[in-house]
Amino acid sequence: MTASLPRTMLHRLTLSLNRRSKNVASFIDDRQSLSKYVHPSLTIRRRDISSTAITHSYVPVVLESGATGERAFDIYSRLLRERIICVHGEVTDTMASLVTAQLLFLEAEAPEKPVYMYINSPGGLVTAGMAMYDTMQYIHPEVHTICMGQAASMGSLLLAGGSPGCRFALPNARIMLHQPSGGARGMASDIAIQAQEILRTRANLNLLYVHHTGRSLDEIEKVMDRDTFMDVKQAVEFGVIDEVLNKRPTPSEEEKK
């Protein structure tokens, strides 16, 4: 009896493994046959999962505990609750769409409270930058601009376009001003039209810098002719910013101002 028991158990185990292997084989066959009817866009590949994970890892998530439990916010949404807008990267139509929407939302939420715009941008599209600039002037709240890293090209106009007395830069930031650039191709008449438009845009930008810096048109045209880099002290002297910030002001210090 004792000798036959292991043999019986071994036999049962063998039968069970055979049945399972057949089920696995049939499952694989069914999956391969069904794959013919699944659109490629609906399939999830390993590389898609990994790239998505990497993309999302660049935006930290903040957890907040409250009476109703925990809530998760991406870091930019959490900062928006503090009326902070980040203008980081190249000025594009996508960025302009997001920034203008945030400005309009914050005005609707509390028109008497200031908005804080942190800028670290190499510049970009003039039209996208003008959309953000015009919205900054359009809304009722004060817009405090703070340069961190750099504010170049259209980024410098956004920095200078903050509310008077509320334009700041961190100690190691840099500011760069220059005239708009562009290219054109096609018929001679079309090229002439594009060139005329660039000249009109340059004249308009020069007048905006005159307004925000208090400098003469001749001075602005000279600075804007080529790339002109400034450190924060030079930017204060030229009128692009009002003050260099070493530490973020406390709420009580901001109220005194």
Decide if 153 is catalytic. Answer: yes
Out of 178, 189, 211, 216, the active site residue is: 178
CA distance to 45, 58, 134, 192, 200, per residue, from 75 (Å): 28, 10, 26, 46, 39
Decide if 178 is catalytic. Answer: yes
Confirm if 115 and 103 have CB atoms less than 8 A apart. yes
CA distance to 32, 55, 59, 147, per residue, from 49 (Å): 21, 10, 16, 36
Out of 121, 153, 156, 212, the active site residue is: 153
**Stated length of the chain:** 257
CA distance 241 to 169: 7
Q: Write the Ramachandran bin of 124: left for phi over 0, alpha for psi from -120 to 50, otherwise beta.
A: left
3-state secondary structure at position 71: strand
CA distance 133 to 160: 10
Angle at 215 between CA 210 and CA 220, to 5 degrees: 65
CA distance 137 to 123: 19
Give me the active site residues, please. Answer: 153, 178
